[in-house]
């Protein structure tokens, strides 16, 4: 009876197909991720991944930055009288109270564009009597005209250090970063975060630089990401009225929570309309500036180059495809679907937590998911088809055996000759 021809090992064919299709899908996903990195949709996926790490990261209270805010109660009190803009006398009184606390630097995140030179002279003369005289950084704002050219409302004053608190929302209305500089009228003005840190570390004001001719009316530069870990609880917050009553006391001058810190003076009252959506929820502009200063001080959130993104996606994708090959069978499908995202997201979180670098593996993760699901589906339907084919062959074999057992025995077409009879003698 002829024997059936042996077929190649199913496992060998499965390995060849698995790695060939898996690596092809990983390469395609890595190339797609490479091009999506510069699109709004791709960045939105990456930023959603980064937002999750902000929520998981545990951050202690920042020892270098504090916030003194004008609250709703302060704004309605006898110092500010619900005036808009804020009265120069009230703001000067608050700055003087902060200066008595001996901070490393004072960052005024308030609109003082309508101050008269005499208002700044009066404040400066009062601060010069303190030893040492505090360093102050002033926020400057601006607006674009009908041609899209940005004009900043700057001012000139002896010892004035100016910076732009340029934290702008992205295409989805979320403030994720700040501008490192703003070019206006041929001058590059540094960000207020950079100015604050420069005053703290170098004890000098960074000078505004002349912008190249091609960049005088350039579009806004790419933003530097803000690290929002800890939310507003990351910084010490004091209300303005708390300083008005305590700053003149000897006990406060000897030891207070503002001493030696970068102190940001800003508004947290409703009429300021300075509240924005961030990865840490709704935050006031003064808290966003505090996070920007902390991020700039710590080096920000560095993102690897496009080439590094590509090779990291390829490496992780190949690793996941290899691991998924050893997790075989439909029963292990659910385990694999849980393990793959934990491996990818865990790698992203570990990289961010221990090195400060951020890499998102969302496209490559989706590609490996899709490949694993399709592969299991194909294997399932192959088994179903082979099972049905095998059942059909068994039924045909049973029918053949049944027919052979019921048919009569056929006569021998060539019977053997009978032996001759024996001789009686």
Q: pLDDT band at 86, cuts 50/70/90?
A: very high
CB under 8 Å to 252, separation ≥6 — which residues? 100, 101, 246
The answer as to whether 358 is a domain residue is yes
Same domain assignment for residues 39 and 92: no
Q: pLDDT band at 306, cuts 50/70/90?
A: low
CA-CA-CA-CA torsion for 153, 155, 159, 161, nearest 10 degrees?
Answer: 10
Q: pLDDT band at 77, cuts 50/70/90?
A: very high
- 138 beta partners: 108, 162
Question: How far is Cα 390 from Cα 278, in angstroms, rounded to an integer?
Answer: 61
Number of H helices, E strands in the chain: 12, 16
3-state class (DSSP) for residue 416: coil
Entry pTM? 0.69
Same domain assignment for residues 323 and 266: no
Give the helix ranges, DSSP H, for 149-266.
192-201, 240-246, 250-254
Same domain assignment for residues 45 and 138: no
In this model, does residue 6 exceed pLDDT 50? no
The answer as to whether 41 is a domain residue is yes
Considering its fold, how many domains does the chain have in total?
2
Give residue 307's pLDDT: 73
DSSP state at residue 331: G
From 278, 297, 316, the end of a domain falls on: 297
Q: pLDDT band at 305, cuts 50/70/90?
A: low
Same domain assignment for residues 182 and 286: yes
Same domain assignment for residues 199 and 227: yes
Give residue 7's pLDDT: 46
**Could you read off the pLDDT of 124-154 as tens digits, one per residue?**
888 888 878 888 999 998 776 666 666 788 7
Same domain assignment for residues 280 and 372: no
CA angle, residues 245, 140, 70, in degrees to nearest 5: 25
Same domain assignment for residues 28 and 149: no
Same domain assignment for residues 252 and 129: yes
Range of the domain at 346: 17-56+302-378
The answer as to whether 256 is a domain residue is yes
Give residue 208's pLDDT: 65
The answer as to whether 388 is a domain residue is no
The answer as to whether 401 is a domain residue is no
From 247, 277, 297, the end of a domain falls on: 297
Q: pLDDT band at 89, cuts 50/70/90?
A: very high
The answer as to whether 404 is a domain residue is no
Which token pair is 292? 């920007």
Same domain assignment for residues 308 and 293: no
Same domain assignment for residues 112 and 201: yes
Q: pLDDT band at 103, cuts 50/70/90?
A: very high
Same domain assignment for residues 128 and 258: yes
In this model, does residue 237 exceed pLDDT 80? yes
Q: Closest by alpha carbon to 163, among 173, 177, 178?
A: 178
The answer as to whether 425 is a domain residue is no
The answer as to whether 118 is a domain residue is yes
Q: For the chain, state the CA radius of gyration.
A: 37
The full length of the chain comes to 425
Give residue 156's pLDDT: 72
Same domain assignment for residues 117 and 226: yes
Give residue 83's pLDDT: 92
């Amino acid at each position: 009876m002829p024997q059936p021809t042996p077929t190649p090992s199913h496992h060998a064919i499965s390995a060849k197909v698995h790695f060939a299709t898996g690596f092809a899908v990983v390469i395609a996903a890595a190339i797609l991720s490479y091009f999506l990195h510069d699109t709004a949709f791709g960045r939105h996926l990456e930023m959603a991944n980064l937002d999750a790490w902000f929520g998981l990261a545990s951050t202690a209270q920042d020892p270098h930055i504090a916030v003194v805010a004008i609250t709703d109660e302060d704004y309605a009190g006898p110092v500010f009288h619900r005036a808009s803009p804020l009265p120069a006398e009230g703001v000067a009184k608050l700055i003087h109270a902060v200066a008595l606390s001996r901070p490393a630097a004072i960052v005024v995140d308030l609109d003082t564009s309508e101050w008269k030179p005499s208002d700044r002279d009066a404040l400066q003369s009062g601060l010069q009597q303190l030893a040492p005289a505090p360093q102050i950084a002033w926020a400057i704002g601006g607006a674009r005209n009908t041609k899209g050219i940005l004009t900043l409302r700057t001012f000139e004053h002896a010892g004035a250090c100016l910076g732009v608190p340029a934290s702008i929302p992205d295409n989805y209305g979320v403030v994720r970063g700040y501008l490192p500089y703003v070019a206006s009228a041929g001058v590059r003005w540094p960000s207020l975060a950079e100015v604050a840190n420069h005053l703290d570390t170098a004890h000098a004001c960074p000078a505004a630089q002349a912008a190249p001719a091609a960049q005088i009316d350039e579009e806004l530069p790419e933003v530097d990401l803000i690290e929002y870990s800890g939310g507003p609880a990351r910084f010490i917050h004091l209300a303005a009225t708390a300083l008005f009553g305590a700053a003149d006391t000897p006990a406060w001058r000897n030891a207070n929570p503002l001493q030696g810190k970068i102190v940001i003076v800003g508004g947290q009252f409703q009429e300021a309309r300075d509240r924005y959506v961030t990865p840490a929820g709704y935050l006031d502009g003064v808290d966003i500036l505090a996070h920007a200063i902390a991020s700039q001080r710590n080096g920000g959130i560095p993102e690897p180059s496009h080439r590094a993104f590509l090779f990291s996606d390829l490496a992780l994708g190949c690793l996941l495809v290899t691991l998924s090959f050893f997790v075989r069978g439909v029963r292990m499908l659910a385990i694999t679907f849980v393990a793959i995202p934990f491996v990818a997201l865990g790698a992203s979180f570990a990289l961010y937590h221990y090195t400060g670098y951020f890499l998102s593996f969302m496209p490559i993760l989706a590609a490996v998911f899709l490949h694993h699901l399709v592969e299991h589906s194909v294997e399932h339907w192959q088994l179903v088809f082979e099972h049905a084919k095998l059942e059909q062959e068994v039924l045909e074999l049973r029918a053949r055996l049944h027919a052979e057992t019921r048919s009569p025995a056929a006569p021998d077409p060539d019977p053997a000759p009978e032996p001759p009879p024996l001789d009686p003698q």
